[in-house]
Amino acid sequence: MRRAAALLAATAFALVLTACGSDGTTSPGTSSSAPPQGAAGAENSSKTWDDEESRDRYLAFVEPGNAKLSQLKAVAAEAAGQTVFTAEQLAAINAVCSDLATINDERSEKLTKGKWPDGVRPAIDDLVISRRSDSLAYRKCATAKDTAEITAAVDDLVRANSSARSAVVREALGLPEIPEVAGPTQ
């Protein structure tokens, strides 16, 4: 039973925690996912962003979380097949989940303050709402003391399933879908 719980948790991380937005490619007509020079924050301009800037900003906003998710997936993959997570693996998962909660909150704030076009704003707002549940699950994961608590946090992430809302945002922005690596896209 304990082996199944550890395997379930590791597999769920690998399946659920895929990139939120950046697949390593750029948006159409751009050369990088960084915001344009001189446009460091949403508060710098009161005008609505154009399509290209919206795509660039979105990709820049989600990149830190995607990088951290990659770290979490690597730890989970290392643990696959084990009876339980080791103390070192639990500590690594706790630390990455804590970082993800913080990154997720910061990203949500940036998304909320963004100067999105009218056709994108509703999708962004829905995504931000769904990310609140993700943050709670990441905090639960950050304080998990054993494999069962990690599994419970992963179950919360699966239930939150903000990946569908991320896909709607990507579509509204004209970004390609993220290829499914091992499960649903986030």
Chain segment 114-167, per-residue pLDDT in tens: 999 999 999 999 999 999 999 999 999 999 999 899 989 989 888 887 888 999
C-alpha span between 145 and 167 (Å, rounded): 33
Which pLDDT score is estimated for 22? 47
Largest CA distance in the chain: 56
Cβ atoms within 10 Å of 105's Cβ, excluding its own: 16
Q: What is the pTM of this model?
A: 0.75
Which pLDDT score is estimated for 179? 57
Which pLDDT score is estimated for 73? 87
Which pLDDT score is estimated for 45? 56
Which pLDDT score is estimated for 84? 86
Cβ atoms within 10 Å of 50's Cβ, excluding its own: 11
> CB–CB of 154/177 below 8 Å?
no
Cβ atoms within 10 Å of 32's Cβ, excluding its own: 11
Which pLDDT score is estimated for 157? 86
Which pLDDT score is estimated for 82? 80
Which pLDDT score is estimated for 20? 54
Positions of the chain with pLDDT lower than 70, given as ranges: 1-45, 179-186
